């Protein structure tokens, strides 16, 4: 909860367009990865959420069923953007990795 509060506080203070909850998750990740926050403190709550995670997807599923006709009408643009975006990311990452590996060898 402290990381969520801190993330929201940073978002409000700096007038960022990134949600405070996302900043809070980044703060939590950094605290866990650096060892500032022991995993044992977070594990019980995380286990509880993972156990009941399926219930968190029920509203999304109902929303998809409610708007199924809109999804079908726009299936081609949705798939094209998903595939196109994936291809663009793969190409950019491949070029970046190639450039980085060439710098290491020189």
pLDDT in tens, 85-96: 999 999 999 999
Task: Report domain extents, the chain.
Answer: 1-51, 67-105
**Residue 106 pLDDT greater than 80, yes or no:** no
CA 14 – CA 67 distance, rounded (Å): 36
Q: Which of 6-15, 39-48, 53-62 has the lowest mean pLDDT?
A: 53-62
* Tokens at 45, concatenated: 């709550």
């Amino acid at each position: 909860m402290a990381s969520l509060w801190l993330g929201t506080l940073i978002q409000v203070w700096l007038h960022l367009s990134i949600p405070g909850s996302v900043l809070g998750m980044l703060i939590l990740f950094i605290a866990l990865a650096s060892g500032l926050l022991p995993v044992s403190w977070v594990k019980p709550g995380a286990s509880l959420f993972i156990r009941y995670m399926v219930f968190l997807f029920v509203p999304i599923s109902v929303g998809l069923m409610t708007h199924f006709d809109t999804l079908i009408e726009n299936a081609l643009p949705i798939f094209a953007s998903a595939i196109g975006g994936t291809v663009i990311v793969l190409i950019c990452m491949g070029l970046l990795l190639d450039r980085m590996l060439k710098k290491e060898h020189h």
